[in-house]
Amino acid sequence: MAPPSSRHSSYSKKAQYSVFTGYLLAGLGALLGAGLLALSLWQPSSFAPLRGAANDVVAPAGEGTAMVRNETGNLFDAISGYLSAGSQNAALREEVELARIRLEEAKSVEQENERLKALLNLAEGEAEPVAVARLVGSSSSSSRRFAAIGVGRVDGIEVGMPVHSARGVVGRILEVARGSSRVLLLTDSESVLPVRRAKDEVVAFAEGRGDGLLRIRLINLGTNPLEEGDLFVTSGAGGYYRPGMAVAIVSEVTSDGAVARLIAEPSATDFVSVEPIFEPEAVEAAATPIEEPLAE
């Protein structure tokens, strides 16, 4: 396409100046952007209030799309369910029988657990969730993995609170605004979560890889005890997450750990609940420099 006007600078001083000014302003803008970028990489929370205010405005629109997303997801599940209904029915029936037996066993274990805890004077129960909300959106065009929920400071949300769905851990609160919050999903490449294998005490870190899978990094190096299908749950270390919440299942064993798949995929969940921080004292202690004594 030909340029609509003659856009090369002519002999006119005015035209030359306006071209020059355009370049100058754009160059200054790029420098300004670089400065802002450096500032926000150095202090990631410095623009959080601005972002929060903007997300407060968009969050209500997200509620609508979240509802549509859940409905269409259910529709696809229903259609695919019809295709394999017969054979699945028999298999499920058998599985339910077994699950019932296991459930009764689990109940007795739970009771015994409670009794033992009572003996030890450990008062610990299910934490009451701070809020229940829909995931209203995400940073779907960026390489970071953030999600937004439609509850915020007015609902009692605070930074660091764990977010989970009915299946397991989804992430934790990163920034809080008045009526919306940003969630750091487990799949983000900056997310690290202390986990342990559900059946024994193999402890590890679950790090996001940035492509939807988690990397399980064992803390104790040596022979790799992991196997495909191992379930990892939160270990409670670090103080943010209550121990025993499901996180991931090993899908591939590597030389120094494993690659694991998420159990609670955010896009497949409709509601998530935000729980209070498991051990606020531990989080505070971890944030306090070693030289300072902890306030009692």
Buried-exposed string 203-240: b where 16+ CB fall within 10 A, e elsewhere = ebbbbbeeeebbbbbbeeeeeeebeeebbbbbbbbbbb
Q: How far apart are the C-alpha atoms of 14 and 19, rounded to whole Å?
A: 9
Among 81, 212, 225, 244, indicate the residue that binds another protein (CB under 8 A).
Answer: 212
Q: Does residue 265 bind another protein (CB under 8 A)?
A: yes
Kindly give the residue spans of alpha helices, DSSP state H, lying in the chain: 13-42, 48-83, 85-119, 280-287
Q: Does residue 65 bind another protein (CB under 8 A)?
A: yes
Among 188, 197, 230, 277, indicate the residue that binds another protein (CB under 8 A).
Answer: 188
Among 8, 14, 93, 115, indicate the residue that binds another protein (CB under 8 A).
Answer: 8
Q: Does residue 139 bind another protein (CB under 8 A)?
A: yes
Q: Does residue 255 bind another protein (CB under 8 A)?
A: no
Q: Where in 19-38 is the site for another protein (CB under 8 A)?
A: 22-23, 25-30, 32-38
Task: Tell me the torsion sign for CA atoms 162, 164, 167, 169.
Answer: negative
Select 159 or 282, whichever has its Cβ closest to another protein. 159
Coil, strand or helix: which one is 182?
Answer: strand
Footprint of another protein (CB under 8 A): 1-5, 7-8, 22-23, 25-30, 32-41, 44, 46-47, 50-51, 54-55, 58, 61-62, 65-66, 69, 135, 137-148, 185, 187-190, 209-213, 262, 265-267
